[in-house]
Amino acid sequence: MTQPTDRLPDVVKRLYRIVADLEALFPGRRFTPDGHLVGSIGEVLATHLFDLELAPASTTGFDARTRDGRTVEIRVTQRRTVALRGEEPTADLLVALHLADDGTAEVVYAGPAAPVWDAAGPMASNGQRRVALSTLAGMEGGELEQVKG
């Protein structure tokens, strides 16, 4: 049976096609989705891909739960790094996604959160620590099983 979220990847790709159309109509003007929109897209895509239960918006410390109750922090980027907040993880697991210009999502990492914080750079003045996607791609994940493509 088709679930409403099964349409999610196509809806996100359609949004990015609209962005491309706007940029073609207005050369030199950027319409890149960012900030809150990209974060929310990442959260719902991760819950779709891994069959997670989305936490209420603005839940402190995590974005979703696994079916067995573990907490999951979801990070998404359109660049080459993801930003982490705090000195230590507050969630059990971390999912990091990269959103391409066409709206497709690549799972870069899905596994324990602690090693990602250990690999992150120093705390910046904005309270964020960054970790490169290339670093995440080389890390052992595997604690979350991707159930959908």
Query: Which tens digits make up the pLDDT trace of 99-144?
Result: 998 989 999 999 999 999 999 999 999 999 999 999 999 998 877 8
Indicate whether 145 belongs to any domain. no
CATH at 83: 3.40.600
CB 75 within 8 A of CB 83: yes
The range of the structural domain enclosing residue 27 comes to 4-137
Q: To which residue do tokens 């809150």 refer? A: 36
**Percentage of the residues of the chain whose pLDDT score is greater than 70:** 97
* Rounded distance between C-alpha atoms, residue 44 and residue 122, angstroms: 29
* The predicted structure's pLDDT at residue 75: 96
pLDDT at 92: 97
Measured distance CA(75)–CA(98) in Å, rounded: 9
Paired sense of beta strands 93-99 and 53-54, if any: unpaired
Question: What is the band of 66 on the pLDDT scale with cuts at 50, 70, 90?
Answer: very high
Residue 1 scores a pLDDT above 50: no
The mean pLDDT of 32-47, rounded to a whole number, is 90
SS3 category, 143: coil
144 falls within a domain: no
Give the number of residues written for the chain: 149
Judge contact between 147 and 113, C-beta under 8 A: no
Residue 30 included in any domain: yes
Residue 148 lies in a domain: no
10 falls within a domain: yes
Residue 129: per-residue pLDDT: 96
Number of domains in the chain: 1
**Residue 3: predicted pLDDT:** 65
Half-sphere exposure (Cβ direction) of 126: Cα atoms closer than 13 Å: 5
Residue 142 lies in a domain: no
With respect to residue 146, please indicate whether it lies within any of the assigned structural domains. no
The whole-angstrom distance between residue 12's C-alpha and the CA centroid of its chain comes to 13
Q: Give me the mean pLDDT over the 75-99 stretch.
A: 95
Tell me the average pLDDT of the chain: 91
pLDDT at 144: 82
Integer CA distances (angstroms), 26 to 18, 31, 107, in order: 12, 9, 32
Residue 71 pLDDT greater than 80, yes or no:
yes
**What residues does 109 pair with on adjacent strands?**
96
Pairing of β 81-85 and β 93-99: unpaired
The backbone torsions φ and ψ at residue 87, rounded to the nearest 5 degrees and listed phi first, read: -75, -30
Q: Does 124 fall in a domain?
A: yes
